[in-house]
Structure 1
């Protein structure tokens, strides 16, 4: 495992032996244009005095430079007039979130602890984690939708962290931008210091909303972020390459399908209400029967667009052959595939991972019933970047920084 601390000394200078990060501004007084939808870009341009007849064209130009070319400075926007660039530079910024640390797993997985711009005197900015998982021919970015989490799933480390707030759509998109910066994954030249993979295929091709937070409790932000991420003239990731995972916020599921067209994943983990009430407490509000009905009516679900059911394998808890057979019965009539996830341990967790023979037996039962049931290979365990392990050091870091700031004042 390699950890790069990008905050010591000059925050824009990388440590010895590491690539430098793009310029960042942890405390930004001017609002950023990064991550905004075209509609919000038009509003920003109007506020900057751009004539109404030019708003659509100028918003298209900005969207291209920001989200297709990865421009980090207004001066790079060569087809935008100098006068307009000057006005925009006076009013807005293109700052990225600050990269606090970058951890690199032995398997190539990268985890970034990102600090959003400050929002107040004693707020150094909310911190969240984002994970990049390289695979042959593809690269998946796991993004966060909230700072902390409102849910308390007992097997998930993120669930032990206090909920702070929703991320804005722009803050969600900014995670994709930071990843592309660090991987040199833009249509133009790679940013200075980018850590460009050398196999030609390890770039961001898929987005999963499986990081910190429950996406459907921030559906407006997630929807707008998907609009930007899927814009063909911007970040350009098709909606079928974007998956939103929910623990089962049933009332918002149809709206997610109708307004985003994204792929759906369900954090299921149990086939009985009494057990799921413990593992995924939101089940007490929306039990399994309601959840499955919402899945059957999810817009666009078909054999070509199957719903993914995530099932973490917990030793002696939910891994029996009887539960595998009940899972098959439960999914009847739903175009589905099942991801079996070996439990990833974290400090203080009350669970253990099922042994490999048990997982294989469970998978075989599901597979013989006609469902794809791959066992997800744990990635980034050595840097706590695997499924269920994300928990930023926000609380600890911010407490230390607040004390230091107050002492200085």
Structure 2
């Protein structure tokens, strides 16, 4: 897949910026002005503050920082940032649509599993994309033949390569690229760089052999490197097998009255006691409530609570999440029987609480149980991308809502475009989407 990130995407950028082998636009209109491309570069760099570190390194300024734009950074920019920042930047939307068609095909190529139908879609999709590329950039003009490098033709063979070797992640070069980044600091001599590199690799191998021969890894008191503090396993309970609450925490607290009322409403809905809020209040008064700073989903994404984690200048925002709730489609018809359907939403985690509920006959709690609740301010989504999993909003609800923490699915990032609209990006796709199976 390096031919895409290091060649095809870079060539597209060169075409858009008027720097590709001296070619002009010809009969097209795909050039982006220098001011527009500089703005895209600045927006790319600034997006690092609103994209969690779990998504990868901070994106560099692709307009000026050419040394940091590796295949990895081009990959992330193409799949997530580019579709947002290039939106409504071309004078003719057909160039943007052509780019989005490529992004959609690349998302399919990078799937963990690929079906036979997907292979057929890739073969047809890349064929149509290359034909459209020739129409837009080559323009069937022999004088512009340099617009069609061999890497464009190579896209036609991706489907066959996947049939022969499997999904792209099984054999791509990113692990080797990271290994090169690991050993590069070992080069200490400009005059003899290869000898310096060889010595570093040999010494690393010797240290590995020393640990194996003398079984040093089994000795907890010995370390050849600075010991890392083991990650906290957090607070867990059997009812929430996939979620852990992480410190720091405040134990045995009483939230303010406004938050407490929202928690009472959430609990009343959970135990179907909306008509007996008094019983909920009495039970909650005896409960032990603790507030937590973070939650971890499926031993993967760590999401922070805004009210607990300080907003430092260099901190990358990890407070936004995707969550799913059941919505009654007959909510406006009080006498109709409730019919629930799952609805995906996005919002900012404000508070995280664990509540030790005591036995309460009125609520049907016969043995003490623990509840994990999250307070979220939902994003008011205005529109969604027609082909990609990108959603746009301008503001969040001013009202915090409490939900069961099992509804929280994954961490999401945000990118601000030139129109002041926020775009929500989600790297997990269908992997973290819950399946709602209604009662028979």
* Greater helix fraction, Structure 1 or Structure 2: 2
Query: Larger Cα Rg: Structure 1 or Structure 2?
Result: 2
Q: Relative contact order (alpha carbons < 8 A, sep ≥ 6): 1 or 2 greater?
A: 1
